[in-house]
Amino acid sequence: MGFFTRTKKKEGWVTVSFLRDGLCVARVQRARDGKAVVELSAFQPATDSRSPAALERAAKEFKLASYQLGTMLGGGEYQLLTVEAPNVPQDELRTAVRWRLKDMLDFHVDDATIDVLDIPVDPNGMSRGHSMFAVAARNTLIQARQALFADIQLALTVIDIPDLAQRNISALLETEGRGLAMLSFDADGGLLTITFKGELYLSRRIDVTIAQLLEPDTDKQQGCFDKITLELQRSLDHFDRQFNYVNVNKLLLAPTGAPGLHEYLAANLYTPVEAMGLEDVFDLSRVPALADVEQQQRFFLTLGAALRHEEVVL
């Protein structure tokens, strides 16, 4: 199974994410008009969240076998690389991309599961080239994740990545005709994405974790704020040079609970910065616990992955 694989929907979609301290389980119902409804958001503490025992407990409690299931890789479990799109027929695309990745991965390309995601070109035809994202993860990791579900008779439909989960949320908050930058943090670090017309154009990792953001030592926290600001400015400048036809009108900061971060970024970036909450995207009426900022931070990417819907893929 590659990334982004799809099969026919059963009774709904459930995403299971494996965090360092437990499992997040989420189910979202998209609405034709109005916000998507969060029907389930549950956290199950576990010392080893990726153990069959932990997943089996969640499967029984939330009746996971009744749903189409997806999961998501952690920040350090895959590489997302930008490559020049090969000029080959579509059925040869992955093979051509694999060849281009052979010197870019930190492991042998023959040991990689690879999928691709297109980056749209300038509609006015002024772009210098056509690029695409290549996602690569070790075969052993993908096989282990598949086996984890299979061992307890659960059919895993898709293995997603955080970048696309965040893309799903960003796409719902864009201003028409403008690009949108979004920044979130979790135990794996910061994730900056830029979307335009619902498509992912840029994704960058920032080496600052949520724990570091919540550091009580103000000097250490200030150092994190400075590092984040520098990385954001570099990334936004790079994006402006690379995609000058996309006007990014603001940066949305996902829930963190870190005091002062929003104000600091707003004062030190030329791009307007706004704080967002899950209530801006979802109807949370069935899950009142998600009013808490700590829970919003915990479930942010899992709920983004749960927004997945059938779409055209390469």
The 10s digit of each residue's pLDDT in 237-270 is: 999 999 999 999 999 999 999 999 999 999 999 9
Angle among Cα 255, 302, 56 to the nearest 5 degrees reads 135
* Cβ contacts of 146 within 8 Å, gap of 6 or more: 1, 156, 159
Place of tokens 């749209």: 120
Residue 3 contacts residue 159 (beta carbons within 8 Å): yes
pLDDT of residue 3: 58
The 10s digit of each residue's pLDDT in 284-314 is: 999 999 999 999 999 999 999 999 864 433 3
| CB crowding 6-30: b at 16 or more within 10 Å, else e | eeeeeeebbbbbbbeebbbbbbbee
Residue 251 contacts residue 205 (beta carbons within 8 Å): no
**CB neighbours of residue 88 within 10 Å:** 12
Lowest-confidence segment of 6-10, 99-103, 275-279 by average pLDDT: 6-10
Residue 210 contacts residue 155 (beta carbons within 8 Å): no
The 10s digit of each residue's pLDDT in 201-226 is: 999 999 999 999 998 888 999 999 99
Sketch out the chain's domains with CATH numbers.
79-138 (3.30.1490.300), 162-276 (3.30.420.40)
* CA nearest to 28, candidates 299, 313, 292: 299
| CB crowding 123-136: b at 16 or more within 10 Å, else e | eeeebeeebbbbbb
Q: Is 0.85 surpassed by the pTM of this model?
A: yes
Confidence at 87, pLDDT banded by 50, 70, 90: confident
Residue 228 contacts residue 208 (beta carbons within 8 Å): yes
Lowest-confidence segment of 24-33, 100-109, 305-314 by average pLDDT: 305-314
Confidence at 129, pLDDT banded by 50, 70, 90: confident
What average pLDDT does this structure show over 157-162? Answer: 96
DSSP state of 35: P
